[in-house]
Amino acid sequence: MAKGLHRAAWFCLWLGFATCQPSCQEVDSLVLEVEEGDASESDVQQLLSCRLDCQILIPLGCSLSENQTLPLLRQAATSLSCSNYENLTETSLELWLNCGGDIHWEDAAGNPLLDLLRNREARKFWNQQATIEAAVAHTVSDWRAWVIPISAAFLAFLEVCAERYGFRRCKDQEAPGSEAKEDPFLEGAKLLVSAAFRKHNILVSLWRFLEVSTCIFWFALVLLIVHWGWWIPVAGMMYLLPAFRIYGWKEVMKAPTLAMVAALLRTSALFGIFSFIYGGLYWKVLIPDYMIDRFSFLINPLVISWSKQKENMLQNSILNEHWLFFWAPDINALQIFRTFREIAICLVVLYWACLLIAVLRHFICRCCSGDDPKKALRHELEHAVQELLQKQPEDFGEVDKRIKPVKAFLCPWHGTGLYQSVALQLLDIALHINTSLRFILEGEYWFAAVMIFVVTRSIVKQFFILPAWQFRKALKASVSRGLLRRDVLDFLEEQKRSEALFCGCFTAYSLFFAINSAGDMLVQYVSLLSSMWQFAGYAMELCNLDFKVEAVLPQTTTSPHPPADLPKNMDQLGGDEINADVEDVQLANQKIHQEV
């Protein structure tokens, strides 16, 4: 094997003569002297000054015995002080490892050898050697890799404890009895009723998803091109100021028309700025050179220095190299990244077009009159919730045929069962932890710290809401009642709130700067889609629960079944009068006075 490597080295030497310096023209004689053991230290230094190809240096420095190889030559081979290391073959890598090569070797830019290799067999061999366990063991040797994440998790725990302590202090200062006792299944009943009465469920879900995807595009994916220092404040003000100005911070979700107008203007402005930077400054289309130089500070400096190098690494990584996607075709990471990039831009354009159509339709159909359908729908929802709280799960259909009780498991085409929702929550947490580990393995410790803080804070709040020893009991109680109990609902919603949006933004940012392989990139896209769908679902629930239910019967707070001394037909007790709103009561009183 050594003779074959030497012949290949000789062939590479003759091909490389044209690029060698004049002092390197005697490389052939120097190589012979090294093989025979007659080369001096100055001869080796002269040989190394030409910066040999790695396919030449490794056989010279590693295939000979310790007595025949000078320490300087062997050290240069083990440290890969050579050129074209991305073209190493499986045989060269095996020889290099046997002579002391470091499995954690990185180039000057901090890129591991696996991300640079081009040969398929070499990458397969290196994947077997450079396992994730070895990478973690190497990373843990850096104190920042474990001190910073542990500190972030501890700070998140302290923040949740301080938040709960402040909440309890404020609650203790309130007058006793100021809060009426609420049925623990009230929020679950409202969620079930609103989901059943809601029209165009699929379209509303897709619209919320489109809104969230556009938001993550502005706050994460655009940061691959633009500088975060000025973009995040501009995008943040364009989101917050119109909402605060038009509605106030408590009424952001209650005026859809004005919200669409503000969203249309915001999307138009941000997309115009992005087009100028991406098309004009980055790709230099239709922009004079003096303007490119003047506005170059708007571009993220990392993308300029990393683009070519990153593209080469992403082209080398094939999807079926990952153990999860061994069945996949030969798709490289760069193709995956470009595909999702184009999809993200198309979603923003689709969002803008939908907003434009909705605004024009509103102004065209402005002449509407008659009763307010939303008010009538709210009264119908309130009445259905109050009836639902009096029913057993098997009788929910008597309130409305569309209302289905909560089940432990459901077929995917019939919805999501409670246990399936919990499993999706656990999967989402695992994907967030995977993103944090990717940041740590790439040395992005501060991004990892923020990600770990957000995830840990959400997990701690979940188990403060519903302790682990009560978790199974609470799930069984919700399934037997057919309604989500308040603590179970809060537990499930905690992962869907701002935590999902923040984690989605960090996951999107990690796609280009912390991911170098096709398999990991696809996993990160799954994590991103999960966060987006979770937050979109929470936005729908927030709108669906935006109505109050008054005059809930107090006996329903203790048991789902009516007491034995009460008739099963609640209409005999004047249930309709109890559920009537204030206006109906006033009309009834006026009618009684007229009759008297």
Residue-wise pLDDT tens digits, 425-451? 999 999 999 999 889 888 889 899 999
pLDDT at 551: 46
The more confidently predicted of residues 311 and 563 is: 311
CB atoms closer than 10 angstroms to residue 452: 25
Q: What average pLDDT does range 213-238 have in this prediction? A: 91
Report the run of H or E that residue 251 belongs to, with start and end. none
Q: What average pLDDT does range 482-509 have in this prediction? A: 89
CB atoms closer than 10 angstroms to residue 92: 23
Quote the DSSP letter at residue 299.
Answer: B
Residue 312 lies in a domain: no
Contact 536/209 with Cβ under 8 angstroms?
yes
The more confidently predicted of residues 30 and 432 is: 432
CB atoms closer than 10 angstroms to residue 43: 18
Residue 394 lies in a domain: no
**296-329 as b/e, with b when 16 or more CB fall inside 10 Å?**
eebbbeebeebeeebeebbebbbbebbeebeeee
Give the whole-angstrom CA distance, residue 231 versus residue 515. 23
Residue 13 lies in a domain: yes
Residue 117, CB-side half-sphere exposure with 13 Å CA sphere: 23
Contact 301/227 with Cβ under 8 angstroms?
yes
pLDDT at 284: 82
Give the whole-angstrom CA distance, residue 207 versus residue 195. 16
- Summarize pLDDT for 128-139 with one digit per residue, the tens: 776 666 666 667
Q: Which residues contact 67 (CB under 8 A, 6 or more apart)?
A: 37
Contact 61/77 with Cβ under 8 angstroms?
yes
Residue 63 lies in a domain: yes
Residue 353 CB burial class (10 angstroms; 0-12, 13-18, ≥19): exposed
Helix 486-494 to helix 471-481 angle, to the nearest 10 degrees?
Answer: 120
Residue 46 CB burial class (10 angstroms; 0-12, 13-18, ≥19): middle
Q: Tell me phi and psi for residue 538, to 5 degrees.
A: -65, -40
Residue 434 lies in a domain: no
pLDDT at 584: 40
Q: Is 83 helix (H, G, I), strand (E, B) or coil?
A: strand
Residue 20 lies in a domain: yes
Contact 444/506 with Cβ under 8 angstroms?
no
- Summarize pLDDT for 361-397 with one digit per residue, the tens: 877 765 444 445 556 667 788 888 888 888 888 888 8
The more confidently predicted of residues 105 and 247 is: 105
Q: Is 82 helix (H, G, I), strand (E, B) or coil?
A: coil
Q: What is the mean pLDDT of the chain?
A: 77
**509-519 as b/e, with b when 16 or more CB fall inside 10 Å?**
bbbbbbbbbbb
The more confidently predicted of residues 130 and 566 is: 130
Q: Is 531 helix (H, G, I), strand (E, B) or coil?
A: helix
175 φψ region: left (φ > 0), alpha (ψ -120 to 50), beta (else): beta
* Confidence grade of residue 573 (pLDDT, cut at 50, 70, 90): very low
User: Picking from 106-120, 247-261, 431-445, 508-522, which range would have the lowest pLDDT averaged per residue?
Assistant: 247-261
Quote the DSSP letter at residue 277.
Answer: I
Handedness of CA 554, 558, 560, 563 (dihedral sign): negative
Report the run of H or E that residue 287 belongs to, with start and end. none
Residue 118 lies in a domain: yes
Q: Tell me phi and psi for residue 548, to 5 degrees.
A: -100, 145
How many residues does the structure list for the chain? 596
* Confidence grade of residue 547 (pLDDT, cut at 50, 70, 90): low
The DSSP secondary structure of 365-403, one letter per residue, reads T----SS-HHHHHHHHHHHHHHHHTTS-GGGHHHH-TT-
Q: Is 45 helix (H, G, I), strand (E, B) or coil?
A: helix
pLDDT at 381: 81
What six digits make up the tokens of 415?
A: 């919805």
* Confidence grade of residue 191 (pLDDT, cut at 50, 70, 90): confident
Q: Tell me phi and psi for residue 478, to 5 degrees.
A: -65, -40
Residue 247 CB burial class (10 angstroms; 0-12, 13-18, ≥19): middle
Looking at the 3D structure of the chain, how many domains does it have? 1
Angle at 132 between CA 128 and CA 136, to 5 degrees: 140
* Confidence grade of residue 121 (pLDDT, cut at 50, 70, 90): confident
Could you identify the residue written with the tokens 């200062």? Answer: 173
The more confidently predicted of residues 279 and 255 is: 279
CB atoms closer than 10 angstroms to residue 571: 9
pLDDT at 44: 64
pLDDT at 375: 60
pLDDT at 250: 53
**pTM across the whole model:** 0.76
Contact 137/128 with Cβ under 8 angstroms?
no
Contact 514/438 with Cβ under 8 angstroms?
yes
What six digits make up the tokens of 477?
A: 């109680």
Identity (one letter) of the amino acid at 269?
Answer: A
Q: Tell me phi and psi for residue 527, to 5 degrees.
A: -60, -40
Closest CA to 23 of 53, 7, 55, 45: 45
Question: Is the per-residue pLDDT at 335 higher than 90?
Answer: yes
Give the whole-angstrom CA distance, residue 498 versus residue 350. 24
Q: Domain residues for 110? A: 2-137
Contact 79/54 with Cβ under 8 angstroms?
no
Give the whole-angstrom CA distance, residue 29 versus residue 31. 5
pLDDT at 548: 66
Residue 264, CB-side half-sphere exposure with 13 Å CA sphere: 14
pLDDT at 363: 75
Residue 184 lies in a domain: no
Contact 255/247 with Cβ under 8 angstroms?
yes
Question: Is the per-residue pLDDT at 199 higher than 70?
Answer: yes
Closest CA to 27 of 54, 4, 5, 50: 50
